[in-house]
Amino acid sequence: MSENPTAQEHLWEGTGVSHGVAHAVVHVLKEHFDEPDTTPITPDEVESDLARWHTALEVTRTEIEALQKAMQDEQGSVEAEIFEAHLLILHDHSILKQVEKTVREQLICVDAVYYRLMCKHMDALRGLADSYLRERFLDIKDVTQRVMRHLRGEMLDHPMFEEPVIIVAHDLTPSDTVQLDRSKVLGFALEMGSANSHAAIIARSLSLPAVVRLHNICDELHSGDPVLLDGDEGLLIRHPSAETLAKYKTREAQTDARDDALLTTRHQPSITRDGCRVKVSANAEFIEEMEAIRDCGAEHVGLFRTEFLHLSDPEAGEDWLAECYTQAVKAMKPGEVIFRTLDLGGDKIDPVMALEKEPNPFLGWRGIRASLGCRELFRRQLRALLRASSAGRVGIMFPMISGVEEVRQARALLDECARELLHEGVKIGDDIAIGAMIEIPSAAVSADLIATEVDFFSLGTNDLIQYTLAVDRLNERVAGLYQPTHPAVLRLIRMTVEAANRASIRVCICGEMASDIQLTPLLVGLGLHELSVTAGQVAKVKHAVRQLSAAECRALAEEIMNQGCLTYGLEKTRAMALAKYPELLE
């Protein structure tokens, strides 16, 4: 990266949601698919305007053909056929003719003419019950998006970067994130977002710095600008001066020294000073993370969010899924991998779901509801998971459980798939643990009933907090009200732990609060058996557990839960953390 010595350093302050520092050029992802302006053109401009459109069509064709080839190489010709449909739409004779005719007759820029015509075709198919026609809607949308982007001279859909970049965007949805070339992305700087959005969670999982709430940053920066992104302090610095870079270098050396010291003990078990074992496992989203997870000291994978594999290829077949899951299982051997079945909905929208917009997606068709409603999709996943279970230890847990009935239905389908596979002569593991995520208050309150149906609980506090406190986890306006140490949340956690203990089943917490080392004393005190945390935090959380006394932590939790004051809990647990392991917090 070449720095311009005369350029002035400029600093923006946002909120750091994933630690670390990155120094690279930025790549600005613009929002796409806005309606273009209906700009009039003169008769003299018609030919050049149409030529611009033809170039965009050509670039789109090359792009689709490249994707088709990549898919053919990876998965064979059947999946690649969807791109055949895209090419047919791109070259549809009647569309081409109609656009040319309208531009010539009405003297309106081709962007607006093409956009409106394609929208008309989409409107005709939108919301149809027939699944074939619904897919055609998505095909047209995809092609239109690509052409519109090229017309505006913007980047490709899923850009391939030649050099490492920091992604700058308005916001990143989980589907945007899976499409990025992660081997080249060094960090995220976003205008929107919150610590509990899936973009932030992914950044932490991949140990990439991320800063959110950098308002209007997309307009201020241009692709290629060199920046320094500081996820610890929540800063973005364009054209960092030599002095700034030197300061950061010193800081990096200090952090590296501390982390190296921690790494030497990362594979040791996490047992408190008074002999209470609290396992520490890792959360994962991508297969490529497995190596790092093995190396970080995690005892197993406590949460594998399978939605991200799904979003990277919503049409993927059972064989491909089984292969991916098997890879993850083999990588963690002899440790267990707990796969969470698809938690689509909320902010993780797959293309078919996008067809029916919901007024409140987090209270809508999400998680187990969507899976039970899309039986074929769910069966495909369950069969793939069962197949992977012959390669090592597999756990399967169901997300967004609101009550015991959903667990029974999901288990019945799982049993049906297992019988089918055995009948087909396919080997499956004989020790698959089945769990329920406790992330809706109703599940915590009825945890004793659910406990009779499962082998373990996993507390999804990211959602449990939002649903208990009625605070949208993505809404920055109410971010201050999103309080993991709220007594109501703690009481629900405690109820869940007690129900698990009475039923002699294990209970883990896999929400982001498990990764916060200030909260470790409180979580140990609440009696959790296991903390499943972001890979980069495993060594720290294990170290923290080793410095604590479970008896002291229990007294702390008891005291905090019985206090109405909202800041009290955080202050108290932080004070204990600071007293027991200052080296991690200072």
Query: Closer CB to ligand PEP, residue 211 or residue 509?
Result: 509
Query: Closer CB to ligand PEP, residue 225 or residue 406?
Result: 406
Rounded to a whole number of angstroms, the minimum distance from the CB of residue 319 to ligand PEP is 26
Edge-first strand listing for the sheet containing 165-169: 10-13, 235-238, 226-230, 21-29, 165-169, 185-190, 210-212, 15-18
Query: Binding string to Mg ion for residues 373 to 392, with x set by CB under 5 A, is what?
Result: --------------------
Q: Could you write out the three-class secondary structure of 333-392? A: CCCEEEEECCCCECCECCCCHHHCCCCCHHHCCCCHHHHHHCHHHHHHHHHHHHHHHHHC
Query: Closer CB to ligand PEP, residue 161 or residue 362?
Result: 362
155 CB neighbour count, 10 Å cutoff: 17
Closest by Cα among 438, 435, 507 to 468? 438
Active-site option among 19, 23, 27, 198? 198
Residues that bind ligand PEP (CB under 6 A): 303, 305, 343, 439, 460-463, 510-511
Rounded to a whole number of angstroms, the minimum distance from the CB of residue 283 to ligand PEP is 7
SS3 396: strand
Residue 215 DSSP code = T
By CB under 5 A, residue 527 contacts Mg ion: no
Query: Closer CB to ligand PEP, residue 460 or residue 525?
Result: 460
By CB under 5 A, residue 346 contacts Mg ion: no
Decide if 424 contacts 452 (C-beta within 8 A). no
Residue with tokens 């609980």: 457
Query: Closer CB to ligand PEP, residue 166 or residue 469?
Result: 469
Query: How far, rounded to the nearest angstrom, does the alpha carbon of residue 177 sit from its chain's CA centroid?
Result: 7
Closest by Cα among 570, 500, 486 to 529? 500
Amino acid type, 194: S
491 CB neighbour count, 10 Å cutoff: 15
Active-site residue flag, 218: no
Tokens of 497: 């732990």
Helix ranges, 185-274 (H): 198-205, 217-220, 242-263
Query: Closer CB to ligand PEP, residue 400 or residue 517?
Result: 400
- Which element (helix H / strand E) includes 12? strand 10-13
- Dihedrals phi, psi of 280, to nearest 5 degrees: -125, 120
Binding Mg ion by CB under 5 A: which of 460, 484, 521, 536? Answer: 460
Binding Mg ion by CB under 5 A: which of 49, 63, 307, 439? Answer: 439
Q: Which does 63 bind (CB under 5 to 8 A by kind): ligand PEP, Mg ion, none?
A: none
Rounded to a whole number of angstroms, the minimum distance from the CB of residue 510 to Mg ion is 9
Active-site residue flag, 215: no
Rounded to a whole number of angstroms, the minimum distance from the CB of residue 399 to Mg ion is 6
Active-site option among 109, 218, 324, 510? 510
Binding Mg ion by CB under 5 A: which of 63, 350, 463, 530? Answer: 463
Query: Closer CB to Mg ion, residue 460 or residue 569?
Result: 460
Rounded to a whole number of angstroms, the minimum distance from the CB of residue 456 to ligand PEP is 14
Q: Which does 305 bind (CB under 5 to 8 A by kind): ligand PEP, Mg ion, none?
A: ligand PEP
Length of the chain in residues, anyone? 586
Rounded to a whole number of angstroms, the minimum distance from the CB of residue 320 to Mg ion is 25
Query: Binding string to Mg ion for residues 38 to 67, with x set by CB under 5 A, is what?
Result: ------------------------------
Q: Which does 187 bind (CB under 5 to 8 A by kind): ligand PEP, Mg ion, none?
A: none
Query: Closer CB to ligand PEP, residue 366 or residue 387?
Result: 366
Rounded to a whole number of angstroms, the minimum distance from the CB of residue 123 to ligand PEP is 33
Residue 156 CB partners (closer than 8 Å, separation 6+): 63, 149
Rounded to a whole number of angstroms, the minimum distance from the CB of residue 462 to Mg ion is 5
d(CA 383, CA 331): 20
Residue 486 CB partners (closer than 8 Å, separation 6+): 465, 468, 469, 566, 569
d(CA 23, CA 239): 10
- Which element (helix H / strand E) includes 82? helix 77-90
Decide if 229 contacts 47 (C-beta within 8 A). no
Decide if 270 contacts 282 (C-beta within 8 A). no
Q: Which does 441 bind (CB under 5 to 8 A by kind): Mg ion, ligand PEP, none?
A: none
Residues in touch with Mg ion (CB under 5 A): 439, 460, 463
Q: Which residues are catalytic?
A: 198, 510
